[in-house]
Amino acid sequence: MTIQTVDPRALRDAFGAFPTGVTVVTACDGDGNPIGFTANSFTSVSLNPPLLLVCLAKSSRNFATMTGAQHFAINVLSETQKDVSNTFARPVEDRFA
């Protein structure tokens, strides 16, 4: 994503609609395998440039992949998606199954 493809109003609306909650952060490793984790430490930092903050412990098994990934996705969960949150919060073999 480049700054030219970001609609500032849409970004402001999206950040403003998320006062607190749970997200699942996903990316792919160097081999294209998906990784993901549950995060409630997500916040907007800036609209220009568009920046957000996700906190991940350096001790996390996902740390190296996430900090080296070229792209990532923030999946904002609804209160009906507790099962998704729980799946990505636990060390299970295949979270994407």
3-89 homologous superfamily: Electron Transport, Fmn-binding Protein; Chain A (2.30.110.10)
Determine how many CB atoms are found less than 10 A away from the CB of residue 44.
15
pLDDT tens per residue across span 51-82: 888 888 899 888 999 999 989 999 988 889 98
Give the span between the Cα atoms of 72 and 92, in whole angstroms. Answer: 20
Query: What's the pTM value of the predicted model, to 2 decimals?
Result: 0.74
Report the number of secondary-structure helices (H) and strands (E) in the chain: 3, 5
The torsion defined by the Cα of 86, 42, 4 and 47, in degrees rounded to 10, comes to 150
